[in-house]
Chains A and B, each alone.
Chain A
Amino acid sequence: KNQVEQSPQSLIILEGKNCTLQCNYTVSPFSNLRWYKQDTGRGPVSLTIMTFSENTKSNGRYTATLDADTKQSSLHITASQLSDSASYICVVISSGGSYIPTFGRGTSLIVHP
Chain B
Amino acid sequence: AAGVIQSPRHLIKEKRETATLKCYPIPRHDTVYWYQQGPGQDPQFLISFYEKMQSDKGSIPDRFSAQQFSDYHSELNMSSLELGDSALYFCASSQQTGMFSRDEQFFGPGTRLTVL
Q: Which residues of A does B touch, CB under 8 Å? A: 31-32, 41-46, 49, 51, 89, 93-95, 98-101, 103-106
Q: Are A43 and B104 in contact (CB under 8 A)?
A: no
Contacts of B88 in A (CB 8 A): 41
Can you give 16 A-B contacts (C-beta < 8 A)?
Answer: A32-B102, A43-B109, A44-B43, A44-B107, A46-B104, A89-B43, A93-B102, A98-B55, A98-B101, A99-B48, A99-B55, A99-B101, A101-B45, A101-B58, A103-B43, A103-B44
Contact of B101 among A42, A95, A104 (CB under 8 A): A95
Q: How far is the CB of B90 from chain A (nearest CB, A)?
A: 5
Q: Are B101 and A93 in contact (CB under 8 A)?
A: yes
- Looking across the interface, which residue of chain A has its beta carbon closest to that of B41? A105
Q: How far is the CB of B9 from chain A (nearest CB, A)?
A: 10
Q: Are B102 and A49 in contact (CB under 8 A)?
A: yes
Q: Are A44 and B90 in contact (CB under 8 A)?
A: yes
- Looking across the interface, which residue of chain B has its beta carbon closest to that of A94? B101
How many pairs, one residue from A and one from B, have CB atoms within 8 Å of each other in the complex? 53
Contact of A99 among B33, B43, B109, B110 (CB under 8 A): B33
Interface residues on B, range: 20 to 34
Q: Are B107 and A32 in contact (CB under 8 A)?
A: no
- Looking across the interface, which residue of chain B has its beta carbon closest to that of A6? B42
Contacts of A94 in B (CB 8 A): 101
Contacts of A51 in B (CB 8 A): 102
In the complex, what distance in Å separates the CA atom of A44 from the CA atom of B56?
A: 20
- Looking across the interface, which residue of chain A has its beta carbon closest to that of B42? A103
Q: Are A31 and B109 in contact (CB under 8 A)?
A: no
Contact of A46 among B44, B105, B109 (CB under 8 A): B105
- Looking across the interface, which residue of chain A has its beta carbon closest to that of B6? A43
